[in-house]
Amino acid sequence: MPDKTGIRVMVVDDHPMWRESVARDLEEAGMNVVATAANGTEALARFPAARPDVVVLDLQIPGPNGVEVTAEVIRQNPAARVLILSASGEQRDVLDAVKAGATGYLIKSASRQELLDALLRVAEGDTVFTPGLAGLVLGEYRRLMEAPAGPDSPDAPQLTERETEVLRLVAKGLSYKQIAERLVLSHRTVQNHVQNTLRKLQLHNRVQLVRYAIEQGLDDEV
Amino acid sequence: MSPVLGDLFGFRPASDAAATAVEDTMYRALGVLRFVVLLNAIGLYLLNHDGFPHAQVGAAVLVVMSLWTAVAVWAYDVARRRGVLLLAIDLAVSLGALLLTPYVKGPGWESTLPGFWVMGAVLAWAIHYRWLGGLVAAVLVNGTDLLIRPDITRTTYGNVFLLLLGGPIVGFLSALLQQMSVERDRAERAAAAAAERQRLSRVVHDGVLQVLALVQRRGTELGGEAAELGKLAGEQEVALRTFVQHDTHARLDLGGERDLGEELSRLETASVSIALPGEPFPVPAAVALEVADIVGACLSNVRHHVGADAPAWVLLEDLGATWTVSVRDDGPGIPEGRLEDAVRDGRLGVAQSIQGRVADLGGTSELVTGPGLGTEWDFTFPKASQ
């Protein structure tokens, strides 16, 4: 288990009770809460100076929203991790945040221990999925695959058979340990497969954004 | 008569902003028409006035018609000026010009002094007072025309007939256009209001969800009665979250179909997780309800055999040509042979009935179970069979 005290965390939530509760839990667990923010503007203003390793982010915050904050945080520091903590778990928003670079997602009804575990794993570079998120990601790959191959999507990302299998088991609620046992893989390999499914989506998302920018002529201004 | 038809056939002038805008446009178009028919009347008069006994009076009538055309175009342009007085004067000027025709032209004339110009007043009445207004004005104008006329030719009859038809038709179209415009306006406003209501409800729901989740979290940690409160809050949190997730989807008009994802998500509880593809998944309504019911039976099995709060997971996955619904639990599993035993003994086990119901829908079931493996159902359905 890595040293918890070393982890710098920023908590972004517009609900003061939640913000304080999460921050207190993290501090009691020995983590270093370097900043809190109540909205997207505050979060982005405090992020550069606070230099958190992990941003615990509510998606429904006063603008810029959680998805935009995620994208900007990852753009400024690709090594930073974003853990989404959402109350409503709006499917589209969660998927967009993951495509923007978030590597963890929990709904707020998760227990304190689940939150701490998730935060540690995200800080280590692991991905934290709920079965619900795995289902969304499977659905997204299906949509990308079935979208008519036009000039916009000549290179839609695809999952390997093994990645699909792993993701499906995550969606069915198996822990990484259970998956490793069932597929006779190492725990690390399972983690890598899950990470890859997100990495490909994020990469595809970035390529799409760049292509969009070029099409719109935004590159001329640079 | 329905309110809609009542509006269409009524005699009521426009009262709505959208309807008034339609009238504005129509009166502007009529303004152009008035000038065209005025030029026509003047041109015909200049060509033929030589033999008229009172040509100067005729010229004066044309001057009045010209002035009135200008005044009318100006006056009709603003809704508030379009009152009974304006429309009455408009019609009176036309009738007056008609009545002076025999005096100006003497005996044996064919076309009236204003000629087609009279259609300006008739159409103005039609636009404002709809089909009935158009009919009344057309009858008055044509009646006057026929009364003063020395003899009625086939051409006269044609003109009279056309104007009698044209007045009510334009009136009806005016009503129709106004009504469509009012309805579109109303629909646009309703859509804007609905969008705003949805945005507000999202904000409110999110706030409530936050508090419920917090109560659940803190309550569980405090234990005792607070834990009981926390559990209740947790149940409400799941119910509201399910509602929010599906309410904010644009509801599709699926015809005889239903979103299977939405049906399945109703089964979500604090211990049951439902994983969905993220977009509505429409299947025939009967299939959606039956599949949700089968999944419900599996989950009830989990509660019965594994534990009331035992976790379970449901996954809906689109596989292209087929789709799969999986239900899994982490329980002790079904011992090998027990299903077969049940069939042999003539008892149709719950599992057997589940398989039968899936087969009835054209699907196949696969069961992965065993000690330590939990129980995992995969139901696969072909898309073609839908």
Q: What tokens appear for A179 in the block?
A: 């998956």
Domain B253-386 has CATH 3.90.25.10: no
Q: How confident is the model at residue B2 (pLDDT cuts 50, 70, 90)?
A: very low
How many angstroms separate the CA atoms of A61 and B90, rounded?
63
Q: How confident is the model at residue B43 (pLDDT cuts 50, 70, 90)?
A: very high
How many angstroms separate the CA atoms of B165 and B140, rounded?
13
CB B246, CB B260: distance < 8 Å: no
Q: What letter represents residue A8's amino acid?
A: R
Q: Which residues of B touch A172 (CB under 8 A)?
A: 275, 313, 315, 326, 328, 376
Q: What tokens appear for A180 in the block?
A: 């490793």
DSSP A157-217: ----HHHHHHHHHHHTT--HHHHHHHHT--HHHHHHHHHHHHHHHHHHHHHHHHHHHHHTT
Give tens-digit pLDDT for B55-94: 889 999 999 999 999 999 999 999 889 989 999 999 999 9
How many angstroms separate the CA atoms of A61 and A67, rounded?
10
Give the pLDDT score at B212: 86
Instruction: Please tell me whether the peptide bond between A64 and the residue prior to it is cis, using omega within 30 degrees of 0.
Output: yes
Q: Which residues of B touch A109 (CB under 8 A)?
A: 212-213, 216-217, 234, 237-238, 270
How many distinct helices (H) and strands (E) make up chain B?
12, 7
Asked if B28 reaches chain A (Cβ–Cβ under 8 Å), the answer is no
**Cα A114 off chain centre by:** 16
CB A162, CB A193: distance < 8 Å: yes
For range B347-352, the mean pLDDT: 64
Q: Sign of torsion, CA A170 A172 A178 A182?
A: negative
- Which one is predicted more confidently, B140 or B338? B140
Cβ of A103: how many Cβ atoms within 10 Å? 26
**Cα A25 off chain centre by:** 21
- Helix or strand (DSSP H, E) at A27: helix A16-28
- Helix or strand (DSSP H, E) at A120: helix A112-123
Q: What letter represents residue A40's amino acid?
A: G
Give the pLDDT score at A205: 83
Give tens-digit pLDDT for B276-303: 998 889 898 889 989 998 999 899 888 8
- Which one is predicted more confidently, A146 or A161? A161
| CATH annotation of A4-128 | 3.40.50.2300
What are residue B335's phi and psi, to 5 degrees? -60, 145
Quote the mean pLDDT of chain A: 86
Cα of A34 to nearest chain B Cα, Å: 22
Give tens-digit pLDDT for B313-339: 999 999 988 999 999 998 887 777 766
> Is there a contact between A109 and B312 if contact means CB atoms under 8 Å apart?
no
Distances (CA, A) of B379 to B129, B210, B360: 66, 35, 12
Chain A interface with B: residues with Cβ < 8 Å: 15, 17-18, 21, 60, 87-92, 95, 107-109, 111-112, 130-132, 134-136, 138-140, 142-143, 146, 168, 171-174
Q: How confident is the model at residue A5 (pLDDT cuts 50, 70, 90)?
A: low
Closest residue in A to B248 (Cα) is A90
Q: Which residues of B touch A91 (CB under 8 A)?
A: 245, 276, 278
ipTM, two decimals: 0.85
Give the pLDDT score at B107: 82
Q: What tokens appear for A148 in the block?
A: 């008519």
Helix axes B17-48, B154-222, angle to 10 degrees: 160
- Which among B262, B109, A206, A51 is positioned nearest to A214, based on CA atoms? A206
Q: How confident is the model at residue B346 (pLDDT cuts 50, 70, 90)?
A: low
Exposure string (b/e) for A140-157, b if CB count within 10 Å is 16 or more?
A: bbbebeeeeeeeebeebb
How many angstroms separate the CA atoms of B85 and B74, rounded?
15
CB B131, CB B44: distance < 8 Å: no
Q: What letter represents residue A14's amino acid?
A: D
Give tens-digit pLDDT for B233-286: 888 888 887 776 665 444 444 567 888 998 898 898 888 999 999 888 989 888
How do the domains of chain A map onto residue ranges? 4-128, 133-221
Asked if B371 reaches chain A (Cβ–Cβ under 8 Å), the answer is no
DSSP B134-166: HHHHHHHHHHHHHHH-SS--HHHHHHHHHHHHH
How many angstroms separate the CA atoms of A94 and A105, rounded?
8
Identify the CATH assignment for A133-221 out of 1.10.10.10, 1.10.290.10, 1.20.1440.230, 3.20.20.70: 1.10.10.10
Cβ of A87: how many Cβ atoms within 10 Å? 28
Query: CB-based contacts of B4: which residues, under 8 Å, 6+ apart?
Result: B179
- Which among B132, B63, B65 is positioned nearest to B98, based on CA atoms? B65
Give tens-digit pLDDT for B93-133: 999 999 999 999 888 788 889 999 999 999 999 999 999 99
Give the pLDDT score at B251: 47
Helix axes B55-76, B17-48, angle to 10 degrees: 160
Closest residue in B to A138 (Cα) is B277
Lowest mean pLDDT among A111-115, B13-17, B179-183: B13-17
Most confident of B177-181, B239-243, B378-382: B378-382
For range B33-53, the mean pLDDT: 91
